[in-house]
Chains A and B, each alone.
Chain A
Amino acid sequence: LAKTTQPISMDSYEGQEVNITCSHNNIATNDYITWYQQFPSQGPRFIIQGYKTKVTNEVASLFIPADRKSSTLSLPRVSLSDTAVYYCLVGSYNTDKLIFGTGTRLQVFP
Protein backbone atom coordinates (compact mmCIF):
# COMPACT_ATOMS: atom_id res chain seq x y z
CA LEU A 1 0.00 0.00 0.00
CA ALA A 2 1.28 3.41 -0.94
CA LYS A 3 2.61 5.63 1.83
CA THR A 4 1.19 9.13 2.03
CA THR A 5 2.67 12.37 3.29
CA GLN A 6 0.57 15.34 4.36
CA PRO A 7 1.29 18.56 6.26
CA ILE A 8 0.80 18.04 9.97
CA SER A 9 -1.32 21.12 10.44
CA MET A 10 -2.84 24.09 8.63
CA ASP A 11 -4.58 27.25 9.77
CA SER A 12 -7.24 29.17 7.89
CA TYR A 13 -9.97 31.72 8.39
CA GLU A 14 -13.65 31.43 7.79
CA GLY A 15 -14.65 32.00 4.19
CA GLN A 16 -11.28 31.10 2.73
CA GLU A 17 -10.52 28.22 0.40
CA VAL A 18 -8.27 25.58 1.89
CA ASN A 19 -6.09 23.27 -0.16
CA ILE A 20 -4.47 20.27 1.50
CA THR A 21 -1.91 18.42 -0.57
CA CYS A 22 -0.99 14.79 -0.12
CA SER A 23 2.07 13.11 -1.63
CA HIS A 24 1.91 9.47 -2.65
CA ASN A 25 4.94 8.90 -4.84
CA ASN A 26 4.63 5.11 -5.07
CA ILE A 27 0.95 4.96 -5.89
CA ALA A 28 0.08 1.87 -7.88
CA THR A 29 -1.85 1.77 -11.12
CA ASN A 30 -5.02 0.47 -9.51
CA ASP A 31 -4.92 2.62 -6.38
CA TYR A 32 -7.66 5.11 -5.61
CA ILE A 33 -7.22 8.25 -3.49
CA THR A 34 -9.69 8.80 -0.70
CA TRP A 35 -10.05 11.56 1.86
CA TYR A 36 -11.66 11.21 5.27
CA GLN A 37 -12.50 13.86 7.87
CA GLN A 38 -12.41 13.26 11.59
CA PHE A 39 -13.77 15.45 14.38
CA PRO A 40 -12.48 14.96 17.93
CA SER A 41 -13.78 11.78 19.56
CA GLN A 42 -15.76 10.83 16.46
CA GLY A 43 -15.17 8.25 13.78
CA PRO A 44 -13.75 9.37 10.44
CA ARG A 45 -16.19 10.36 7.74
CA PHE A 46 -15.73 9.86 4.00
CA ILE A 47 -15.34 13.10 2.07
CA ILE A 48 -14.33 12.29 -1.48
CA GLN A 49 -12.60 9.70 -3.63
CA GLY A 50 -10.96 9.81 -7.03
CA TYR A 51 -8.69 8.05 -9.46
CA LYS A 52 -7.48 10.77 -11.79
CA THR A 53 -8.18 14.36 -12.94
CA LYS A 54 -10.78 16.18 -10.89
CA VAL A 55 -13.67 15.05 -8.76
CA THR A 56 -16.19 17.38 -7.16
CA ASN A 57 -19.06 16.79 -4.79
CA GLU A 58 -21.17 19.02 -2.58
CA VAL A 59 -18.48 19.17 0.08
CA ALA A 60 -15.09 19.31 -1.64
CA SER A 61 -13.04 18.93 -4.78
CA LEU A 62 -10.18 16.55 -5.36
CA PHE A 63 -7.49 17.40 -7.88
CA ILE A 64 -5.22 14.63 -9.13
CA PRO A 65 -2.46 15.44 -11.66
CA ALA A 66 -1.66 13.16 -14.53
CA ASP A 67 1.24 11.42 -12.78
CA ARG A 68 -0.99 10.76 -9.72
CA LYS A 69 1.96 11.16 -7.36
CA SER A 70 0.07 13.74 -5.36
CA SER A 71 -3.45 14.95 -4.82
CA THR A 72 -5.06 18.08 -3.42
CA LEU A 73 -8.21 18.28 -1.38
CA SER A 74 -9.90 21.63 -1.83
CA LEU A 75 -12.46 22.90 0.68
CA PRO A 76 -14.25 26.00 -0.61
CA ARG A 77 -15.17 28.75 1.86
CA VAL A 78 -14.39 26.92 5.08
CA SER A 79 -16.33 27.54 8.25
CA LEU A 80 -15.51 26.94 11.90
CA SER A 81 -17.20 23.54 11.66
CA ASP A 82 -14.56 22.41 9.17
CA THR A 83 -12.00 22.35 11.97
CA ALA A 84 -10.97 18.70 11.97
CA VAL A 85 -8.27 16.24 10.98
CA TYR A 86 -8.17 15.33 7.31
CA TYR A 87 -6.70 12.02 6.20
CA CYS A 88 -5.46 11.15 2.74
CA LEU A 89 -5.53 7.43 1.97
CA VAL A 90 -4.39 5.47 -1.03
CA GLY A 91 -6.24 2.22 -1.44
CA SER A 92 -6.00 -0.60 -3.85
CA TYR A 93 -9.00 -1.99 -5.66
CA ASN A 94 -8.43 -5.42 -4.15
CA THR A 95 -8.15 -4.49 -0.51
CA ASP A 96 -10.43 -2.71 1.88
CA LYS A 97 -7.76 -1.93 4.42
CA LEU A 98 -7.63 1.76 5.20
CA ILE A 99 -4.14 2.86 6.14
CA PHE A 100 -4.40 6.15 7.97
CA GLY A 101 -1.38 8.37 8.26
CA THR A 102 -1.09 11.18 10.76
CA GLY A 103 -3.47 13.37 8.84
CA THR A 104 -3.60 17.15 8.59
CA ARG A 105 -5.08 19.06 11.49
CA LEU A 106 -7.01 22.00 10.04
CA GLN A 107 -7.86 24.84 12.39
CA VAL A 108 -10.32 27.43 11.12
CA PHE A 109 -10.40 30.77 12.90
CA PRO A 110 -13.24 33.33 12.88
Chain B
Amino acid sequence: DSGVTQTPKHLITATGQRVTLRCSPRSGDLSVYWYQQSLDQGLQFLIQYYNGEERAKGNILERFSAQQFPDLHSELNLSSLELGDSALYFCASSEGAAVNALPPYEQYFGPGTRLTVT
Protein backbone atom coordinates (compact mmCIF):
# COMPACT_ATOMS: atom_id res chain seq x y z
CA ASP B 1 0.00 0.00 0.00
CA SER B 2 1.61 3.23 -1.21
CA GLY B 3 -0.58 5.51 0.89
CA VAL B 4 -2.04 7.17 -2.20
CA THR B 5 -5.75 6.64 -2.69
CA GLN B 6 -7.76 7.01 -5.85
CA THR B 7 -11.49 6.93 -6.42
CA PRO B 8 -13.36 5.44 -8.08
CA LYS B 9 -11.58 2.19 -8.91
CA HIS B 10 -13.65 1.63 -12.01
CA LEU B 11 -15.69 3.98 -14.14
CA ILE B 12 -17.79 3.17 -17.16
CA THR B 13 -19.29 6.00 -19.14
CA ALA B 14 -20.41 6.93 -22.61
CA THR B 15 -18.74 9.02 -25.28
CA GLY B 16 -19.29 12.73 -24.88
CA GLN B 17 -19.66 12.54 -21.11
CA ARG B 18 -17.57 14.16 -18.41
CA VAL B 19 -16.01 12.43 -15.40
CA THR B 20 -13.93 13.42 -12.40
CA LEU B 21 -11.20 11.26 -10.93
CA ARG B 22 -10.04 11.92 -7.42
CA CYS B 23 -6.68 11.41 -5.75
CA SER B 24 -5.54 11.78 -2.16
CA PRO B 25 -1.76 11.92 -1.79
CA ARG B 26 0.30 10.36 0.97
CA SER B 27 0.19 12.28 4.19
CA GLY B 28 2.70 15.12 3.99
CA ASP B 29 3.31 14.90 0.25
CA LEU B 30 2.95 18.21 -1.54
CA SER B 31 3.28 17.09 -5.16
CA VAL B 32 0.63 15.24 -7.10
CA TYR B 33 1.08 13.81 -10.58
CA TRP B 34 -1.36 12.33 -13.05
CA TYR B 35 -0.47 9.63 -15.59
CA GLN B 36 -2.47 7.84 -18.24
CA GLN B 37 -1.73 4.26 -19.20
CA SER B 38 -3.34 2.81 -22.27
CA LEU B 39 -2.50 -0.44 -24.01
CA ASP B 40 -1.05 1.13 -27.11
CA GLN B 41 0.79 4.07 -25.59
CA GLY B 42 2.18 2.95 -22.27
CA LEU B 43 2.44 5.31 -19.32
CA GLN B 44 2.11 8.97 -20.23
CA PHE B 45 2.74 11.87 -17.87
CA LEU B 46 -0.18 14.30 -17.90
CA ILE B 47 0.34 17.00 -15.31
CA GLN B 48 1.91 17.81 -11.95
CA TYR B 49 0.77 20.05 -9.12
CA TYR B 50 2.87 21.22 -6.23
CA ASN B 51 1.20 22.71 -3.18
CA GLY B 52 -1.81 23.83 -5.16
CA GLU B 53 0.04 25.23 -8.16
CA GLU B 54 0.52 23.67 -11.56
CA ARG B 55 4.20 22.80 -11.91
CA ALA B 56 4.65 20.74 -15.05
CA LYS B 57 2.54 19.76 -18.00
CA GLY B 58 2.90 16.75 -20.22
CA ASN B 59 0.74 15.35 -22.96
CA ILE B 60 -2.53 16.47 -21.47
CA LEU B 61 -5.38 17.10 -23.88
CA GLU B 62 -7.30 20.37 -23.78
CA ARG B 63 -10.41 18.34 -22.90
CA PHE B 64 -8.66 17.32 -19.69
CA SER B 65 -8.01 19.55 -16.71
CA ALA B 66 -6.82 19.10 -13.16
CA GLN B 67 -6.50 20.98 -9.93
CA GLN B 68 -5.06 20.53 -6.49
CA PHE B 69 -7.07 21.75 -3.55
CA PRO B 70 -5.89 23.38 -0.29
CA ASP B 71 -6.09 20.01 1.49
CA LEU B 72 -3.73 18.74 -1.25
CA HIS B 73 -6.10 16.26 -2.80
CA SER B 74 -6.36 16.48 -6.56
CA GLU B 75 -9.00 15.95 -9.20
CA LEU B 76 -8.59 15.15 -12.86
CA ASN B 77 -11.52 16.19 -15.02
CA LEU B 78 -12.03 14.51 -18.35
CA SER B 79 -14.68 15.93 -20.67
CA SER B 80 -16.13 15.20 -24.11
CA LEU B 81 -14.91 11.67 -23.63
CA GLU B 82 -13.87 9.60 -26.61
CA LEU B 83 -13.36 5.87 -26.97
CA GLY B 84 -9.62 6.46 -27.06
CA ASP B 85 -9.70 7.92 -23.56
CA SER B 86 -10.31 4.46 -22.15
CA ALA B 87 -7.28 3.77 -20.00
CA LEU B 88 -5.90 3.38 -16.52
CA TYR B 89 -5.36 6.73 -14.85
CA PHE B 90 -2.76 6.81 -12.11
CA CYS B 91 -2.12 9.44 -9.55
CA ALA B 92 1.23 9.64 -7.80
CA SER B 93 2.55 11.82 -5.03
CA SER B 94 5.94 12.85 -3.77
CA GLU B 95 7.30 14.74 -0.84
CA GLY B 96 8.37 17.80 -2.75
CA ALA B 97 9.20 19.20 -6.12
CA ALA B 98 12.45 18.95 -8.00
CA VAL B 99 15.12 21.32 -6.75
CA ASN B 100 18.48 22.08 -8.22
CA ALA B 101 21.19 19.65 -7.20
CA LEU B 102 18.80 17.13 -5.75
CA PRO B 103 17.75 13.84 -7.34
CA PRO B 104 14.17 13.50 -8.51
CA TYR B 105 11.86 12.64 -5.65
CA GLU B 106 10.54 9.11 -5.40
CA GLN B 107 6.98 8.98 -6.62
CA TYR B 108 4.35 6.84 -4.90
CA PHE B 109 1.62 5.63 -7.19
CA GLY B 110 -1.99 4.96 -6.31
CA PRO B 111 -3.92 1.88 -7.43
CA GLY B 112 -5.38 3.69 -10.43
CA THR B 113 -8.83 4.33 -11.86
CA ARG B 114 -9.85 2.21 -14.80
CA LEU B 115 -11.95 4.29 -17.18
CA THR B 116 -13.96 2.61 -19.88
CA VAL B 117 -15.66 4.78 -22.45
CA THR B 118 -18.34 3.02 -24.49
Q: Which residues of A contact B (CB under 8 A)?
A: 32, 34, 38, 41-46, 49, 51, 87, 91-103
Contact = CB atoms under 8 A, between A and B. Distances in A.
30 contacts: A32-B103, A34-B104, A41-B112, A42-B109, A43-B2, A43-B90, A43-B111, A43-B112, A44-B43, A44-B109, A45-B109, A46-B106, A46-B108, A87-B43, A91-B104, A92-B104, A93-B98, A93-B99, A93-B100, A93-B102, A94-B99, A96-B33, A96-B48, A96-B55, A96-B97, A96-B104, A98-B33, A98-B43, A98-B107, A103-B42
A43 to B, nearest CB: 3
A96 B105 contact: yes
Interface of B: 2, 4, 31, 33, 35, 42-45, 48, 55-56, 58, 88, 90, 92, 94, 97-112, 114
Nearest to B98: A96
Nearest to B112: A43
Contacts of B101: 93
B101 to A, nearest CB: 6
Q: Describe A's contact surface by its main secondary structure.
A: loop
A32 B104 contact: yes
A49 B111 CA distance: 22
Quick one: which of A38, A87, A94 has the most chain B CB within 10 A? A94
A34 B98 CA distance: 14
A100 B58 CA distance: 12
A2 to B, nearest CB: 13
Contacts of A100: 35, 42-45
Quick one: which of B94, B98, B102 has the most chain A CB within 10 A? B98
